[in-house]
Amino acid sequence: MKNILLVGIGGAIGSIGRYMISLFYQKYQPLVTGFPYPTFIANMIGCIIIGAIMAYILKTNQTSDTIKFLLVTGFCGGFTTFSALSFESVQLLQNNQISTAFIYIALSVILGLGLTFMSYYLLSTKI
């Protein structure tokens, strides 16, 4: 039961964080359209965070399920979203924005993996 609560709390905080990015973006960048920046930004930040958390856990031999359930499964799971990336990609393709869709998909995957590796590598060698 404790693990379920940790995932739920982390997921709620992560989901609220992702929503706040959307609100912030809509307020300060309302004229920029065509590319799903809020989801992209949340996913890239999430990649950095999960790489850093996993580096910390592995480097310090921290086996705390609390950290994993709260931050990795909960927060990062709620903050990032592959389903939104998929849906937004389908919308771009349906709107005949084929190049934007493929740029979004490629950047999300390549940059996301790169940021996860970078944060993991930097923290695992510095801790």
Give the model's confidence band at 26: pLDDT under 50 very low, under 70 low, under 90 confident, else very high: confident
**What is the arithmetic mean of pLDDT over 81-103?**
91
Q: Domain span at residue 12?
A: 2-126
Q: Which range has the top average pLDDT, 62-66, 88-92, 121-125?
A: 88-92
Q: Which residue, 27, 25, 13, 8, is CA-closest to 79?
A: 13
* Domain total in the chain: 1
At 53, the pLDDT band (50, 70, 90 cuts) reads: confident
* Ramachandran angles phi, psi of 124, nearest 5°: -70, -25
Give pTM, 2 decimals: 0.80
So what's the pLDDT on residue 127? 56
List, in order, residues 6 or more apart from 100 with CB less than 8 Å away: 34, 35, 92
